[in-house]
């Protein structure tokens, strides 16, 4: 057998699975020797268990497991889906011709893939269709070719922290990139900048955590490895993908296959024309429980990021709530009105994904100033040169400088050394080393670690911190290590000796950050502190459904129209025993040191039978703050109730009960404000109350508009361009009329 090789064959490195060929020159005739006798191949039924989702006389829908090849191919002649389907139908090797085939389609002979209308990769799980008759095979093949079949895939992608910037969870975007075989490795595919076959995929993020993201992909075309290539091109490869993924994360996650699942297949029945939808199970992703539960909630029609569905009919709303009920613990098939409100009133699954930088509020620093330079041997002091040529240069100092441009000690190194002074020369002095400036955030406390004279059992020295300085103003500086003094030449002294350069200071420092703020928000996890701060100010960070989604303090500034600013600090959640550093409680409470007032945030939407009393929660939070720092007992405080829009959980009842019980327990009236961050309820009163706590003696200006004079003429229709003065709201003045009469001031009553 001979083949005529085209001109571009050498560039494309043509190869066949049946054998191999060695390309010599253009237009050469190449002999191909077959390694496998295709005529001798036969399909043998194998007793392999199948997970059948649907079957009738025309169609078979199977949930393919991982590791199963769809049809026989080189290296996988047995154990395929085709062998299992033949055994399920009760066929023998001689009855294979009874199943429909595609003549000459693809590199595999048609007889080796009977009934197969589309394929899945060996590591991909999910729904796959098999045609049982010639008519159904023709209809389904045409439907797949004309893109009439809707396919939905679920994938676990990497890069949850950085990916999808600009694409909020629940929203989607389109990847429209052509795909072609890689020029370096013909076995894999890649995005083609020029040429290639068009490929389009619609991607939607359902849920995410720190490293992974659960995505839904709907491919419009059906190219080889399309989803894997498209996600990898967006820097979000599929977890476990050894070909296109990140190998170091795959090894750490210990995943043996690509986490890609053909979840849904929607097609028209080849005989009846009825639209049928088949869904596979979520079993391949059960090991990622929390992330999959959140994704299932988002994929079931929930409102994500405040985007409501257009369905306003009550029947449709009840149906959507019933579909989402199993994920939320509702077992009944027909949920009640309260359960429907519970489902549709849930908090947003997650806010817009934002990059959260790690927050470092305590660190050790080893600072070494520069040494002074040595003088030249024959340096001489002269009257017109009092500093003397040939003297050594001074060493640079290490200086801390406060700034508002950084927020933590993340970028501060552990060891710093300032430049040394240069040695002197015959005719000029040595160069002085530049000072080394380290920027630190406002609120930094500087302590020097001094050796106590004691050591541990392991021989380590024990250092005790001593206070040195704290930064409270922008651009404030403090010298922590002073540079050495440059040396002086021998001819400057009577004895003829010289003074060498002195070494720079070496200091061990402990830096602690206590955030500058006016009001600190304290509360349990998931109390709504971050949502409240985002609603009152422009401080936006990640808002998630899980506990401790806030892992660092965030400061938001509330600006009033009289140029008064109130800095509000959102702290991570606290629990009982926080003053004893339970769940890093002391690291959280340290940021209340500079607060002028405390605001305890509690969730008042607790329902009729609440196990935890809201007043006991407020008392617990206040006692934790006081036990950590007794000065917190002298600070003014208030209580903010959140999630007041969830009326089916009786938030107003718990809010009123908390107000009257606090007033009965304390002599002073404690401010209690109910809010709803989602709808903006009570935020104005909450902001004003915070201002009164911080600035009790400063009155808030209230601008009032003067009253308009009484109208003497009714407004008329203008048929020509109006050239007179513009009337203000509530008054009218004719262009031909004179000035309006002055306002008559009422007479004062005399006693």
Element at 214 (helix H, strand E): strand 212-219
> What dihedral angle (degrees, nearest 10) is formed by the CA atoms of 192, 198, 202, 205?
-10
The 3 state secondary structure assigned to 60-109 is EEEEECCCCCCCCECCECCCCHHHHHHHHHCCCHHHHHHCCCCCCCCCCC
Q: Could you tell me the CA-to-CA distances from 291 to 191, 219, 274 in Å, in that order?
A: 29, 23, 34
DSSP per residue over 165-182, as a string? TTS-BTBEEEEE--EEE-
Distance of CA 482 to the CA centre of its chain: 43
Distance CA 500, CA 374 (A): 5
Bridge partner list, 275: 268
Q: Do residues 530 and 543 make contact, with C-beta atoms less than 8 angstroms apart? A: yes
Q: Which H helix or E strand runs over 658?
A: helix 651-665
Q: State how far Cα 724 lies from the chain centre.
A: 57
| Catalytic residue ranges | 121
- C-alpha–C-alpha distance, residues 522 and 531, integer Å: 13
Instruction: Round to whole Å and give the CA distance between 731 and 716.
Output: 12
Q: Which of 539, 582, 508, 280 is nearest to 407 (CA)?
A: 539
Of the candidates 67, 61, 96, the one whose C-alpha atom is nearest the C-alpha of residue 79 is 67
C-alpha closest to that of 550 among 351, 406, 292: 351
Beta bridge partners of 129: 61
Nearest to 85 by CA among 97, 73, 99, 101: 99
297, 515, 557, 577, 595 from 567: Cα distances, Å: 36, 10, 5, 27, 9
- Tell which residue, 599, 447, 580, 573, has the closest CA to residue 514: 447
What angle, rounded to 10 degrees, do the helices at 683-694 and 529-536 form? 90
Q: What are phi and psi of 205, to 5 degrees?
A: -85, 130
Q: How far apart are CA 83 and CA 516, in angstroms?
A: 70
Find the radius of gyration of the CA atoms of the chain.
38
Beta partners for residue 238, in sequence order: 157
CA dist 642 → 192, 287, 421 (Å): 52, 34, 60
Q: CA-based angle 705:707:712, to the nearest 5?
A: 145
Contact residues for 445 (Cβ-Cβ < 8 A; gap 6+)? 467, 469, 470, 511, 512, 513, 514
Residue 382: burial class (beta carbons within 10 Å; 0-12, 13-18, 19+): exposed
CA distance 526 to 536: 17
Q: With CA atoms as reference, report the closest residue to 614 among 577, 654, 642.
A: 654
Residue with tokens 């210990």: 254
């Amino acid at each position: 057998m001979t083949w005529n090789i085209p001109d571009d064959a050498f560039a494309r490195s043509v190869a066949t699975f049946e054998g191999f060929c060695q390309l010599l020159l253009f237009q050469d005739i190449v002999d191909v020797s077959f390694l496998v006798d295709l005529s001798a191949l036969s399909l043998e039924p194998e007793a392999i268990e199948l997970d059948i989702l649907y079957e009738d006389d025309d169609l078979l829908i199977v949930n393919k497991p991982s590791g199963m090849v769809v049809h026989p191919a080189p290296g996988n002649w047995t154990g395929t889906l085709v062998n299992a389907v033949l055994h399920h139908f009760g066929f023998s090797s001689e009855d294979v011709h009874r199943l429909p085939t595609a003549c000459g389609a693809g590199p595999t002979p048609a007889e080796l893939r009977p009934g197969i209308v589309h394929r899945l990769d060996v590591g991909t799980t999910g729904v796959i269709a098999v045609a049982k008759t010639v008519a159904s095979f023709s209809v389904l093949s045409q439907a797949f070719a004309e893109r009439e079949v809707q396919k939905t895939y679920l994938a676990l992608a990497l890069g949850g922290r950085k990916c999808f910037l600009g694409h909020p969870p629940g929203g989607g975007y389109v990847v429209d990139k052509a795909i072609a075989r890689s020029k370096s490795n013909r076995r894999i595919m890649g995005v083609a900048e020029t040429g290639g076959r068009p490929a389009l995929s619609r991607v939607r993020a359902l849920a995410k955590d720190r490293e992974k993201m659960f995505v839904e992909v709907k491919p419009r075309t059906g190219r080889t490895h399309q989803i894997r290539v498209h996600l990898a091109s967006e820097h979000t490869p599929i977890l476990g993908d050894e070909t296109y993924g990140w190998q170091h994360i795959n090894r750490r996650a210990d995943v043996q296959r690509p986490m890609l699942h053909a979840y849904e297949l929607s097609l028209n029945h080849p005989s009846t024309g009825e639209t049928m939808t088949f869904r596979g199970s979520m079993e391949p992703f059960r090991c990622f429980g929390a992330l999959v539960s959140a994704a299932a909630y988002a994929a079931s029609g929930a409102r994500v990021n405040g985007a409501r569905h257009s369905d306003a009919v009550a029947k449709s709303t009840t149906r959507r709530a019933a579909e989402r009920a199993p994920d939320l613990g509702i077992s009944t098939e027909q949920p009640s009105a309260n359960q429907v409100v519970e489902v549709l009133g849930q908090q947003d699954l997650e806010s817009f994904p934002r990059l959260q930088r790690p927050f470092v509020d305590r660190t050790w620093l080893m600072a070494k100033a520069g040494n002074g330079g040595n003088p030249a041997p024959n340096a001489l002091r002269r009257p017109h040169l009092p500093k003397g040529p040939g003297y050594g240069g001074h060493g640079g100092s290490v200086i801390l400088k406060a700034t508002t441009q950084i927020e933590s000690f993340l970028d501060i190194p552990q060891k710093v050394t300032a430049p040394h002074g240069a040695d002197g020369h015959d005719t000029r002095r040595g160069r002085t080393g530049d000072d080394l400036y380290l920027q630190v955030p406002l609120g930094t406390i500087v302590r020097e670690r001094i050796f106590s004279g004691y050591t541990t059992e392991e021989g380590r020295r024990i250092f005790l911190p001593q206070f040195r300085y704290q930064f409270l103003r922008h651009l404030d500086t403090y010298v922590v290590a002073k540079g050495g003094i440059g040396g002086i030449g021998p001819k400057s002294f009577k004895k003829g000796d010289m003074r060498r350069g002195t070494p720079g200071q070496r200091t061990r420092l402990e830096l602690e950050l206590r955030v500058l703020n006016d009001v600190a928000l304290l509360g349990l996890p998931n109390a709504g502190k971050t949502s409240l701060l985002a609603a009152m100010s422009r401080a936006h960070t990640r808002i998630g459904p899980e506990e401790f989604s806030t892992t660092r303090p965030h400061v938001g500034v509330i600006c009033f129209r009289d140029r008064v600013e109130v800095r509000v600090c959102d702290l991570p959640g606290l629990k009982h025993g926080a003053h004893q550093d339970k769940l890093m409680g002391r690291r959280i409470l340290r940021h209340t040191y500079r607060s002028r007032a405390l605001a305890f945030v509690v969730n008042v939407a607790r329902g009729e039978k609440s196990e935890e009393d809201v007043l006991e929660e407020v008392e617990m939070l206040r006692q934790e703050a006081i036990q950590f720092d007794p000065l917190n007992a002298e600070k003014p405080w208030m209580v903010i109730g959140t999630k007041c829009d969830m009326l089916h959980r009786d938030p107003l009842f718990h809010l009123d009960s908390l107000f009257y019980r606090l007033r009965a327990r304390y002599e002073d009236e404690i401010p209690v404000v109910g809010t709803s961050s989602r709808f903006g309820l009570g935020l104005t009163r909450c902001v004003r109350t915070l201002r009164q706590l911080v600035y009790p003696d400063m009155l808030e200006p209230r601008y009032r508009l003067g009253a308009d004079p009484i109208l003497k003429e009714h407004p008329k229709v203008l048929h020509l361009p109006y050239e007179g003065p513009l009337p203000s709201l509530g008054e009218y003045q004719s262009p031909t009329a004179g000035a309006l009469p002055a306002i008559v001031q009422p007479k004062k009553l005399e006693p």
